[in-house]
Structure 1
Amino acid sequence: MKKFLLVFSVSFVALWSCAPKTTSLFNGKDLNGWHIDVPAMDSTDARNPFIIRDGMLVSLGTPAGHIITDATYEDFRLDIEYRFAGKPGNCGVLVFASTPRSLYKMFPKSIEVQMMHENAGDFWCIVEDIKVDDMVERRGPKEEWGITEGKKRRILNLTDDSEKPVGEWNHMVIECLKNEIKVWVNGDMVNHGYDATAQTGQIALQAEGSEVEFRKVELLPISKLTE
């Protein structure tokens, strides 16, 4: 019996040590591992809209732009806790991000997962594309679809009642596996896209007019979990 327990314990430790580890993408102290792309900062003394405050990553909202991971990722689960601490507004998480300033000289090529108040979980196509079920109902007339300026790039989520009231923390999970994206908000699946035109890239957070606090931005590799 003791021999069995010893073998079981050793096996459990070995399996645990091989399991993918969750990684926090910010350290609560500085912006190490990220870089800023804010056009207004190119030629002026505009403030950096991304700061660390009380151990949280904060998007001040203005000037508009993005904070982008230095590293690229594929096959991952992104676990985020965020809130609009004051006024409700707009923000987003961009996955599969690549070429900077590809849209409106501001947005990197990517798929955006919307965080805008009462619209969390919408997809926005930013010079990349993705499909969902019921595309015409959720994106509009097919002849108007597109991935560049002036086109219908928004794909509505499945529910707009999954968010918490302003000031409370929301929990968003974004799972990117190959060219498929699934999104949950506070436990509800709010979007599921597939046949995306990218399956690897950087991760970006927006400054888009409203202050947003992030107390968790964690990444778990999931490729090994599907083998």
Structure 2
Amino acid sequence: MKKLQILGILFILSNCLSAQENSVYENEGYVSLFNGKDLSGWKIPEGDGGHWNVIDGVIDYDARSEATGDKNLWTESKYKDFKLHVEWRFKGYGDHLFPLPTILPNGDYLRDENGDIIEPLGPNSDSGILIKGAGQVQMWCWSVGSGELWTVRNNKSLSPEVRAAAVPSEKADQPVGEWNSYDIILRGKRITVILNGITVIDNALYPSMLESGPIGLQHHGGINPETGKLMGASSLVQFRNIWIKEL
């Protein structure tokens, strides 16, 4: 009985803290992108089969979308410059280990004496916040940490300075299973990413950024048709407290 009472108290406290946080964003002029009940305001992939879902007040995804085209979840509305707050966590990993290269501060990969990329195997989940269809703010289990701007870092036509600025300054992720928070600030082609209160991307140039577009939650991985199991780096992920303020 005491255990049930304690759990009840914790549940009430959690709800109170969530309500206080919501009021803070409302007072600062943010608009909620997720009502905690259903996917109103979001475009569910056609033929998804219910794999993008709302469970216990959070957006839940199991990487098993049955959609034949785009499997990502997109907002119905489009945005230009904005501040975006979103909380996320990985629930677990895919069904096998995944090669996890080390990204160096300059954006290149760590290589051996033969020039081959060093890719030790490890458990990994992978997703991201899609920004106006131009790219993403990465979420994953790599040693470099989340927040990386994949399309910028991997564009070898860009200057070394631009590519290096797309690499997180440090790994600020919570362990798998625990909640993380992103605060993403986008003005024109400049983006800042704050992960759990730490600025990991600081006013980096995003050359391919579009003028306007929707916000997306990324599908990654999925079922291996040969084994019927989840591939490594699948999006076993949840999202909550999604707020946006247009600038």
- Structure 1-normalised TM-score? 0.65
Asked if residue 79 in structure 1 is aligned to residue 85 in structure 2, the reply is yes
The answer to whether the 8 A contact 2:62-2:237 is kept is yes
Task: Give the unaligned 5+ runs of structure 1.
Answer: 1-18, 98-109, 140-154
Partner of residue 132, structure 2: 96
Partner of residue 114, structure 1: 138
Partner of residue 173, structure 2: 163
SS for the counterpart of 1:125 is: helix
How far 1:158 sits from its partner (Å)? 2.2
How far 1:131 sits from its partner (Å)? 6.6
| Residues 16-165 of structure 1 aligned to structure 2 (within 5 Å) | 21-37=29-45, 41=47, 47-63=49-65, 65-87=71-93, 88-97=124-133, 110-118=134-142, 119-125=145-151, 134-135=161-162, 138=164, 155-159=166-170, 161-165=171-175
Q: RMSD in angstroms over aligned alpha carbons?
A: 2.6
Partner of residue 239, structure 2: 214
How far 1:178 sits from its partner (Å)? 1.8
Change (3 A) 1:125 1:48: farther
How far 1:156 sits from its partner (Å)? 2.8
- Structure 2-normalised TM-score? 0.60
Give 4+ residue runs of structure 1 displaced > 4 Å after superposition. 129-133
Partner of residue 107, structure 2: none
Change (3 A) 1:123 1:71: same
Change (3 A) 1:82 1:134: same
Task: Give the unaligned 5+ runs of structure 2.
Answer: 1-26, 94-123, 221-233
Q: Which amino acid aligns with 1:49?
A: H
Greater percentage in strand: 1
Equivalent-residue separation in structure 1 for 2:58 and 2:207 (angstroms)? 31
Partner of residue 205, structure 2: 194
- Aligned residue pairs total 167
Change (3 A) 1:170 1:20: closer
